[in-house]
A and B are shown apart, each in its own frame.
Chain A
Amino acid sequence: MGTFRMNRRHFLALSGAAGIGAAMSGGMSRAMAQSLSGASTAVLPSQAPTNWAAVLEKANAALQAEHGFTLNAEFINWGSYGQQALLKFTAGAQFDTALQALWLNMAQLQQDGALADLTGQIDKWPNLKAQIAPKLIEANTWNGKLWGIPQVNSAARVQHFTVRQDLAEKHGFGEITDYDTLERFFYTIKEKEDGVTPYSLVSNSHWIYAVPTPTAMFNQHSWENPYTMQYLFAGSGLRFLFAKDAAETGSSGPIPFWDDEGVIAALRKIRQYYNDGIVNADGMNVDRATIDSQFQTGRFASNWAMTDGSSSNQLAALQRNVPEARLGQVMPFGKPLTAVKPVQTFQADNMVVVNANGGDVDRALALQDWLSVKENHDLIEYGIEGTDWEAAGDDGIKQLSQYAFPGYALLWRSGLERRSSFMTESEKTIFDWAQNYDNFTADTFASFIPDVTPVREAAAAMNNVIIQHANPLFYGVADVDAQLDKLKSAADAAGLDVLQGEMEKQANAYLAARA
């Protein structure tokens, strides 16, 4: 193989071409931005933060001067966000962007052609491109097309436990790292801490306790083998697990979650915890906000956590009620983080999609680009500096007001997120780990998005079956064997074979396309 040596002329020619290219690309995005006008309406969950009017006024003055348009944020309460957002798409409402996700209605919206194709669009916006990792775009591309701008503050997300570290140390546990110790901690709390429930179950989070993604909270088998990812046709319904050797054999072999031994063991464990009072008995009815407020009053010894750096946010409120309280994180691996590379799909839990029916792609992307600049990002995400927050170190933040913007719905960027001054050391370690793509293994089916269209009726029927017959298992309120019989029989009647067959067909086609 010959060696290529770049002489001075080659170097100058290449530099010139690169310069012209960069100038053209910058010029193009500027020209595009300057031709924009009106208001970019973003449909967001949650409610307008306190002091939002002042923040929006400041943001719009800058946006208008820079891009010629303004931001119009339309907040919809979380309780009805899914339906309301879907209705907006259906009714042909005029808006640019909305929060969507696989756990909402994104697959349906894409399959119905309601989302604008954003393939290649990010390349036109330098600030946005600089903040979105190529791996993230690749992982969120479905069949070669990008349907939303992923909003993440870490590379991967793993559910785990936040525990009352003060209680752990009080009872001689120190740092909890494995499942057996965690279980002993639960039973010790039950025995010795009157009025404290060891763990809090919450409604609408059913499957996370038993079905691996790649681990499940009470699935000890998944702690030891964090290499399983579940897939389903739509945002909710029946979760399938694929064969571990699918990549080698080309055969996906999907099984419903109840055919996995680890899941069944987890369901039995949850039932045991329910009977023993380790978990709250009202898990099927109680919502996240209620549980969090109870956790903050010291009624629970552990709570659900995610590797998004937000678990420590509860500490300030908790310490107001329990001054000696401290928080620790228990990761579901039973070994050091350096010794494990769990599978991930790297698919974002939150996506900003552009409305194909009346949304302006350039304006939407211009807004995403503008929000990818640190100063603008800080303004919308954290409010007005000095009033709502003050910097703590280079990337830290001390909150001064109650300002809380749903950043995940519009402007989460890993590189721009500030760390709360309340973040514990253990969470910092986990957050750092979760931000690095190299700490994870891409799942064989990482960018597989099943199309529900051919089995829409069976999927709908199965969804009801899961709510009615599987949820009681996830919350431990029913006898496992009897309830499993009911679940299987109802699933058969709802068309399990149809769903399983279609999932296998589509997953095998995905494998064949990648081979």
Chain B
Amino acid sequence: MDAFALLIAATLNAGTVIAFAALGLLINERSGIVNLGAEGMMLVAAIAGFAAAVHTGSPWVGLGAGALAGALLAAVFGLLVIWLNTNQYATGLALSLFGTGFSAFIGIRYTQERLPERPPLHIPVLGDIPFIGPALFRQHAMVYIAIALTIALAWFLYRSRAGLVLRAVGESPESAHALGYPVRRIRLLAVMVGGALCGISGAYISTVYTPLWVEGMVAGKGWIALALTTFATWRPARVLLGAYLFGGVTMLQFHLQGEGVQISSQLLTMLPYLATIVVLVLISRNATWIRVNMPASLGKPFFPGS
């Protein structure tokens, strides 16, 4: 039974990694912009965060550095896409390809470094409850921050004026522009917040989740986060649930390997990627459902006053 509690704990932790990136991409896409650069931003943030944590000894500084790196790269992407009107898919792809190379390039001198393992928070009383304590209340603070962020984001999108403006910009930039909202600046801000959250996710991987730097260590989590926004039809709570689902699949794979199940490790490693495809197929089958929920101007360029 204890092993099961640990599996739940590990699932929440693995899900948290994807949740930050996916929530960031959700904000990003709600503004009408698709950023395929998530994987690249996460990789650069992973090495930036790791390096910062190595030099300062603080994983929090690492997470901050990751957020900054993600936001900066997202700003470059945003300027190209929003002001120079470049193709969103191609530009995002360029960001991912660049980030993969760049992170490997600057990361090479950190491959020997190690960060200390972080003991999880031990919340008094709650953490001592049998089963529920080890499963839910002995986690890194970021796990709880992800949940708080999800609630805050849902409130922001559906209950605040600023959230309404953001959604308007994603649905119909022409109308928002006509009403006098600075569409391009709002989009840039959304893209940068998205980049910062992808950055936090990348830095979380390299400073807390597996505290070391390996080339390409994000291993497709950025792409999975992108798939999650579709899967969740651009709703925060569903994004979080989806992230835990994928965390569960990832952890199940390690769990099965640990239990000595006679399946080759490669086939198990495939599971999260296969699960992503399966879920994507199941969700996308209902085209109208996607169309109703998708920000109407997603991926379409908007160029005012030309």
B partners with A: no
Interface residues of chain B, those whose CB is within 8 Å of chain A, are none
Interface residues of chain A, those whose CB is within 8 Å of chain B, are none
